[in-house]
């Protein structure tokens, strides 16, 4: 027979069992954290009608989207979880309670140029709060507080959630009479880290014909830094000149104040005037999250406030605020940086049971005992030599191997080998289960990420 | 602005929050059960190169597949989880330990004609055990034992896992000299329930030119029924005429014997000679699972033994045995039959916290206390009238509402309202958390499926 070479498409992450277990644990921590804050899980189709996904249209999205026809249907794979949410809320508006708080962890598709660390299929892990007509600013503070919880539970320590407010930026540009150029300015200032202050000034003056003095004002504004209180105090100096600015500053101050109340330590968030987010979608608070020791990888969790979630599908005003963890990319980066904790459980089982008799009933009873305590027990039933069985246990990396031979069965015990220490002892099944459970519970508490 | 009508594609399940929570619970029970048996989770791409997915080619698959091009790549959405597993095992053979036990719960795509209860995007929840060169028959018994555990934990009682062996069937047809017609015979016998014995006989004789006496032999064979021991005893009468038959009967007997040992009660499995599975893929044990009170919906969980998982990608002999729960369809059917338990938790939160003061710090502290105990607490921060807040709590269906006004904060208590009983009392935060935890733990033990 002619064989076809097995391969996985480039840009598509496919993990071996060990890393997959690490990924599962990270996903589960994100999921359970989102759930603890009272967000409801959603699961929407990966395929939508193209007219729905491309309602906004234009730009990179349209080029990157996976679009195809099936019969006479024009279909596309979702490229984010926000547009499907907008459709969902517009479609099911009457059956939902507002504020509608949902989380969704799912794959999205973007046909980007393939390169290392860039994925065409990747997980996003989103939370959004959608209001009906209005939505309190306290939500803008709870969102980063949830991300703080998630990142802390993952084991991350050296991260910072950076916060800004688009009204502050737009209000300031309005003061300079540059409202019509605000998009260009934001996108230019976004490159500050990359091209430096002189570079930004040159682009503003040369490419966008902005007066040199105004360009300097912009750079001076962007350069404001310090503690959160210092930044807010410096911004207060611009008060009273533009209503939008004042409103944005009130919001920013409230969010910063609440964030402390929500239990986020000062070192994990910063008011940062250089954060703008590329998308014109955002209208108020904006977030980016950086790993302090790895600024080169950019933001791993971003989002913000928007005035109108579903304007393409409904007349209703549905303001919202949300944030998205780029999960596949985060996992990839943590792996590249050596930050995935090898001490976590990555074996498919907590114990491998090796029956040494033809009759499996004692082994099955033992497996049942372990499973009833929530321990993952794999029964090995292949007729192989002892050495092959132990080599299998080694390859799986199981923490415990349990032998059940005729002697053990006669004595009502099991030989329990700790594969880490090499210790082996005979114990009654219940005692063995207890011994294993104690150690597994300890290893379950190991955070999946190492961040010194 | 011109609005686009929000819609979800037909054949794509999209659930409201309540049903979605029920679906999540069912999925989690399947996932955790699979994991307890030492199966490792896998997550493979939804998109594969078309040449990979269509390596076998032909038939319904090719018509139903979602296939498209992106750039110069010929891509397809997976239509099951078995072909991606075959590719995975062939590709990563050197890094895997055999027997390789994996579970995967994921969406698959088939462009079937849209009709009620038929889905184009649906979840399958699969387990497979893959051997390297050989695989012990005990695995054929553990697979249905796992399904028994899953279904029991879901709350299902009136179900039966039906088992047969293709070698028994093929051996029997060989005795009649009908080996070249075995596929036609199996597909015809598969219709027994639909067209009756006379109908089957007519098709065998008229369409496939099978001698009338042989057709009667086939029907007599297929009609063998009774307890598992009775069926096996009747089959023993055919022994010694065909080596394949004898081998299959040995396997069937061993699987039936082990199944009892694995703790599956007699009433939940049956040796059933009418089960053949349409696919020519299976070579030994085959499974179907029916809900006894709903035979009309057909099998909700099927699978079997195959000799050669990855023959299109590798020369290696990789025998396996697996089973698949058609999760989306099962969920749909349970809903249609009124079998989804309304007493399970479907609210997004265990408690809704209503702060009655501008300062949220006491409310945040309370939420933190609840969350640290694993309780899902939603903080309500909208400036709405009391009635609107209570109506929100009702709509979410939260079991508890916690009020925090100035009086409560002063006294160090919280007003805790049980939304089921209507009872309300003031308690210190820790006592309130304990009270809620006790009730939530009880409701978490409620099985998601009702089966009288």
Please report, for the domain that includes residue A227, its CATH number. 3.30.930.10
| CA of A381 vs chain B CAs: smallest distance (Å) | 6
Q: B356 and B307 in one domain?
A: no
Q: What is the pLDDT of residue A298?
A: 87
Query: Which SS3 state, helix, strand or coil, does residue A257 take?
Result: helix
Q: A378 and A310 in one domain?
A: no
A107 within a domain of the structure (yes/no): yes
Find the mean pLDDT for residues B359-383: 94
Taking the C-alpha atoms of residue A288 and residue A195, their distance in angstroms, rounded to an integer, is 19
Q: Which residues contact B357 (CB under 8 A, 6 or more apart)?
A: B404, B405, B406, B409
Q: B203 and B65 in one domain?
A: yes
A11 within a domain of the structure (yes/no): no
Q: Which residue has the higher pLDDT, A372 or A1?
A: A372
- pLDDT-based confidence at B170, cuts 50/70/90? very high
Q: Does A48 touch chain B (CB under 8 A)?
A: yes
Q: Under an 8 A CB cutoff, do A121 and B314 touch?
A: no
Q: B388 and B300 in one domain?
A: no
User: Is-contact B309 B318, C-beta < 8 A?
Assistant: yes
Chain mean pLDDT for chain B: 94
Q: What is the pLDDT of residue B263?
A: 86
Q: A400 and A300 in one domain?
A: no
Give Cα separations from B294 to B288, B298, B384 (angstroms): 14, 8, 48
When scoring A13, A31, A36, A77 by the number of chain B Cβ atoms within 10 A, the one with the most, hence best to mutate, is A36
Q: A176 and A213 in one domain?
A: yes
B228 within a domain of the structure (yes/no): yes
A9 within a domain of the structure (yes/no): no
Show the DSSP H helices in A301-360 as ranges: 327-336
Of A287, A310, A336, the domain-final residue: A336
Find the mean pLDDT for residues A4-12: 95
Q: What is the pLDDT of residue B58?
A: 67
Portion 78-107 of A in contact with B at CB < 8 A: 87-88, 90-92, 95-99, 101-102, 107
Q: What is the pLDDT of residue B60?
A: 74
A3 within a domain of the structure (yes/no): no
Of A308, A336, A364, the domain-final residue: A336
A143 within a domain of the structure (yes/no): yes
In chain A, what residues touch B395 (CB-CB under 8 Å)?
A: 97
Taking the C-alpha atoms of residue B250 and residue B266, their distance in angstroms, rounded to an integer, is 19
- pLDDT-based confidence at A427, cuts 50/70/90? very high
Find the mean pLDDT for residues A218-246: 95
Interval B386-429: pLDDT, tens: 999 999 999 999 999 999 999 999 999 999 999 999 999 999 99
Minimum mean pLDDT range among A420-434, B158-172, B275-289: B275-289
pLDDT surpassing 90 at residue B152: yes
Q: Under an 8 A CB cutoff, do B36 and A107 touch?
A: no
How is residue B176 written in tokens?
A: 């009649």
Complex confidence, ipTM: 0.95
Chain mean pLDDT for chain A: 94
Classify strands A414-418 and A424-427 as parallel, antiparallel or unpaired.
antiparallel
Q: B360 and B271 in one domain?
A: no
Percent of chain B with pLDDT over 70: 99
Q: Under an 8 A CB cutoff, do B3 and A262 touch?
A: no
Portion 368-397 of B in contact with A at CB < 8 A: 368, 371, 374-379, 381-383, 392, 395-396
Q: A304 and A197 in one domain?
A: yes
A346 within a domain of the structure (yes/no): no
Beta strand ranges found along A314-381 (DSSP E)? 320-326, 351-355, 377-379
Residue span of the structural domain in which A362 resides: 351-444
Q: B277 and B211 in one domain?
A: yes
Buried b (16+ CB within 10 A) or exposed e, B331-361: bbbbeeeebbbeebbbbbbbbbbbbbeeebe
DSSP letter at B207?
I
- pLDDT-based confidence at A143, cuts 50/70/90? very high
Q: In what order do the strands lie in the sheet with A414-418?
A: A377-379, A351-355, A400-404, A414-418, A424-427
User: Is-contact B321 B139, C-beta < 8 A?
Assistant: yes
A201 within a domain of the structure (yes/no): yes
- pLDDT-based confidence at B349, cuts 50/70/90? very high
pLDDT surpassing 90 at residue A242: yes
Q: What is the pLDDT of residue B361?
A: 87
Q: Which residues contact B302 (CB under 8 A, 6 or more apart)?
A: B277, B286, B287, B288, B289, B323, B324
Percent of chain A with pLDDT over 70: 99
Find the mean pLDDT for residues A206-213: 94
Number of domains in chain A: 2
Query: Which SS3 state, helix, strand or coil, does residue A309 take?
Result: coil
Q: Which residues contact B338 (CB under 8 A, 6 or more apart)?
A: B450
User: Is-contact A314 A93, C-beta < 8 A?
Assistant: yes
Q: B371 and B295 in one domain?
A: no
Q: B356 and B306 in one domain?
A: no
Q: A426 and A294 in one domain?
A: no
Of B336, B360, B390, the domain-final residue: B336
- pLDDT-based confidence at A239, cuts 50/70/90? very high
Interval A315-348: pLDDT, tens: 999 999 999 999 999 999 999 999 999 988 899 9
């Amino acid at each position: 027979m002619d064989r076809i070479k097995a391969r996985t498409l480039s840009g598509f992450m496919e993990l071996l069992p060990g890393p997959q277990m690490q990924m599962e644990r990270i996903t589960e921590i994100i999921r359970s954290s989102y759930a603890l804050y009272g967000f409801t899980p959603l699961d929407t189709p990966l395929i939508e009608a193209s007219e729905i996904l491309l309602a906004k249209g234009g730009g990179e999205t349209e080029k990157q989207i996976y679009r195809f026809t099936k019969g006479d249907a024009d279909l596309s794979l979702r490229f984010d979880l926000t547009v499907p949410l907008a459709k969902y809320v517009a479609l099911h508006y009457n059956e939902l309670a507002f504020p509608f708080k949902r989380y969704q962890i799912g794959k999205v598709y973007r046909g980007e140029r393939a390169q290392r660390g860039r994925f065409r299929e990747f997980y996003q892990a989103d939370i959004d709060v959608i209001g009906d007509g209005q939505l309190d600013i306290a939500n803008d503070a709870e969102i980063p507080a949830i991300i703080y919880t998630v990142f802390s539970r993952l084991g991350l320590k050296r991260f910072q959630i950076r916060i800004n407010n688009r009204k502050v930026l737009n209000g300031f540009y309005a003061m300079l009479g540059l409202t019509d150029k605000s998009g260009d300015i934001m996108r230019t200032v976004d490159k500050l880290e990359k091209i430096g202050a002189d570079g930004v000034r040159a682009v503003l003056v040369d490419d966008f014909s902005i007066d040199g003095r105004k360009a300097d004002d912009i750079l001076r504004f962007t350069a404001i830094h310090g503690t959160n209180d210092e930044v807010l105090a410096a911004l207060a100096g611009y008060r009273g000149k533009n209503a939008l600015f004042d409103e944005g500053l009130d919001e920013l101050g409230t969010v910063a104040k609440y964030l402390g109340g929500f239990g986020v330590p000062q070192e994990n968030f910063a008011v940062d005037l250089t954060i703008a987010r590329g998308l014109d979608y955002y209208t108020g608070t904006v977030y980016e999250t950086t790993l302090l020791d790895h600024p080169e990888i950019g933001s791993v969790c971003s989002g913000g406030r928007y005035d109108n979630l579903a304007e393409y599908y409904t007349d209703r005003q549905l303001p919202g605020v949300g944030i998205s963890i780029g999960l596949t990319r985060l996992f990839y980066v943590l792996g590249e940086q050596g930050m995935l904790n090898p001490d976590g459980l990555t074996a498919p089982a907590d114990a491998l049971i090796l029956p040494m008799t033809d009759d499996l009933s004692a082994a099955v009873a033992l497996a049942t005992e372990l499973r009833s305590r929530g321990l993952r027990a794999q029964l090995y039933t292949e007729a192989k030599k002892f050495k092959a069985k132990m080599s299998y246990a080694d390859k799986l990396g199981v923490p415990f191997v349990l032998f059940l031979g005729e002697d053990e069965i006669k004595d009502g015990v099991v030989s329990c080998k700790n594969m880490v220490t090499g210790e082996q002892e005979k114990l009654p099944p219940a005692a063995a289960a207890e011994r294993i459970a104690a150690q597994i519970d300890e290893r379950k508490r190991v955070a999946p990420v190492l961040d010194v």
